[in-house]
Amino acid sequence: MNIVVLCGGLSGEREVSISSGSGAARALRALGHNAVLVDLYLGYTKPFKDPAEVFAGAGDVELYRVGESVPELDTVRALRADDGHRVGPHVLELCMAADITFMALHGEEGENGKVQAMLDLYGVKYTGCGYLGSALAMNKSLSKTVFHSLGIAAPEGVTLGRDDAREYLPPDFPRVVKPCSGGSSVGTSVVANAGEYAAALELAFKYEEKVLVERFIKGRELTVGVMDGEAMPVIEIIPKQGFYSYRSKYQAGAALEICPAQIGARMRRRVQHLAERVARALMIDAYCRVDFLWEPESDEIYCLEANTLPGMTPTSLIPQMAAAMDMDYGRLCEKIIEVSMKKYEK
């Protein structure tokens, strides 16, 4: 197949996306596909006369490693000589010529539904769910509304704009403060007092105009992939320091990720069933990953969010779940393409 692996963009998860994309492109090329890595924002700048030349002449892809801190996006913007529209040169041209676009985008770029809607308008086939499921899952406030309507527990909290935030002080601490959209814990803080809370708001508002302030739940962090409507193995995440931050997620050895989670058969089935319910509720087809906190004292399971384009980096969780199912990384990439094509058969 001729495949565009779309990555990069201008979200805070840009480096994570490039790492996911480089891994997927390398794996797909090793399996004989003509996979081309394309940056959504920077585009494809090598000269060509016909897109077929690009796919036929695609070279090896070097695996990209994520740094310890969120990238400075102004540095990326400076690499574009034009007025900096979000979609770079030749991106759509190559996507339209491909058999499918493998979505390796994370964060605002590609997970809020805008890129999916654009590709739909141009008749481009792509991996992952459609624009509506993407938009619902990306906005954590909307997701929680859906969860509550179906009796799915989610952390109690409020959604604040800048004006609201000036007047709101949590009734108690600790609290979690995070942007309403986005992922990879970018802009997220766990705060213990009013001073830390003010600093956390300032950080979260750097990334978005709406933030969530939620009750901190002390529990065990569990995550479950859902592939084609069926749950994958459960992973328990145990950060070595603090909470499961950006650094903990992408620096090797910063967290223990136990797969399969040692939680007993009853709890495993309960969490997997809940993950499948969440995927259906948010209209996520193809695949996703759903994150939970299990509070052992109350035995309540709280859904934190669903990730419609979960990471495919060397430390990511979906590849670990696949490995527990005897599915290697390359076969996982092909499986994602296989289940994503089903939405075009309907």
Burial class (CB in 10 A: 0-12, 13-18, 19+), 177: buried
In whole angstroms, what is the distance from residue 61 CA to residue 35 CA?
9
In this structure, the number of other CB atoms found within 10 A of the CB of residue 105 comes to 30
310: Cα within 13 Å, side-chain hemisphere: 28
DSSP type of residue 65: P
DSSP type of residue 313: S
Strand, coil or helix: what is 193? Answer: coil
| Per-residue pLDDT, 184 | 57
In sequence order, which residues have a C-beta less than 8 Å from that of residue 262 and are 6 or more positions away? 236
Where do the H-state alpha helices sit in 112-158? 114-121, 131-138, 140-149
In whole angstroms, what is the distance from residue 185 CA to residue 179 CA?
9
In sequence order, which residues have a C-beta less than 8 Å from that of residue 315 and are 6 or more positions away? 249, 250, 251, 252
Query: Please, what are the averages of pLDDT over each run of 10 residues along the chain (346 residues)?
Result: 95 90 96 96 92 88 75 84 83 98 91 96 97 94 94 94 90 91 77 92 90 92 97 92 52 78 96 98 96 94 95 91 97 98 89
| Per-residue pLDDT, 206 | 87
In whole angstroms, what is the distance from residue 212 CA to residue 164 CA?
11
| Per-residue pLDDT, 245 | 46
| Per-residue pLDDT, 37 | 96
**Residue ranges of domains in the chain, CATH in brackets:** 2-126 (3.40.50.20), 138-152+218-344 (3.30.470.20), 157-215 (3.30.1490.20)
Pairing of strands 175-179, 211-215: antiparallel
Omega of the bond leading into 71 within 30 degrees of 0 (cis): no
Q: Following DSSP, what letter does each residue of 24-42 receive, concatenated?
A: HHHHHHHTT-EEEEEETTT
In sequence order, which residues have a C-beta less than 8 Å from that of residue 36 and are 6 or more positions away? 2, 3, 4, 5, 25, 44, 54, 55, 58, 94, 98
